[in-house]
Amino acid sequence: MQHANGFLKMVMKAKENIEEVSVEYTHDLLNNKVANQDYYLIDVREDHEWDEGYIPNAIHLSKGVIERDIEKKIFNKDAELILYCRSGYRSLLAGESLRQMGYTNVKSMEDGYSGWIKNQYPIVD
């Protein structure tokens, strides 16, 4: 997919503030191989993408509504939030918004859902 220059510029700016974690780190976290009790995995993809499959234990808050709805679902602004989308761009942008809202431990899963599938990790269809 060819992305617009303005979009890519915003993504690069978000990368300055949002840590990216690997799909392996996320997989290990979900399988209790990383010591962190207070974390949330958030799928920021569109509804139709979610309906096609998602990572187990993920919360669906699409990029279009995450700022509006996040505080109703996640009260602890210091919890580790790992966001993912298809490839890792929209999750960076959503993460930047959450950081501006006061969430202090926001991360983006590098390579997104595509990377998860590539590693043949489990999904919910």
Domain edges within the chain? 5-118
pLDDT tens, residue by residue, 35-46 = 667 899 999 999
Which conformational region is residue 57 in: left (phi greater than 0), alpha (psi within -120 to 50 degrees), or beta?
left
Neighbour order of strands in the sheet with 80-84: 19-21, 106-109, 80-84, 39-43, 59-60
How many CB atoms neighbour CB 30 within 10 A? 18
As to burial, measured by CB atoms within 10 angstroms (0-12 exposed, 13-18 middle, 19+ buried), residue 23 is: buried
Would you state the pLDDT for residue 11? Answer: 84
Q: Are strands 59-60 and 19-21 parallel, antiparallel or unpaired?
A: unpaired
Active site (catalytic) residues: 85
Tell me the pTM. 0.91
| 5-118 CATH fold | Oxidized Rhodanese; domain 1 (3.40.250)
Q: What is the pLDDT of residues 34-83, one digit of tens each?
A: 666 789 999 999 999 999 999 999 999 999 999 999 999 999 999 999 99
Q: Whole-angstrom Cα distance, residue 48 to residue 115?
A: 19
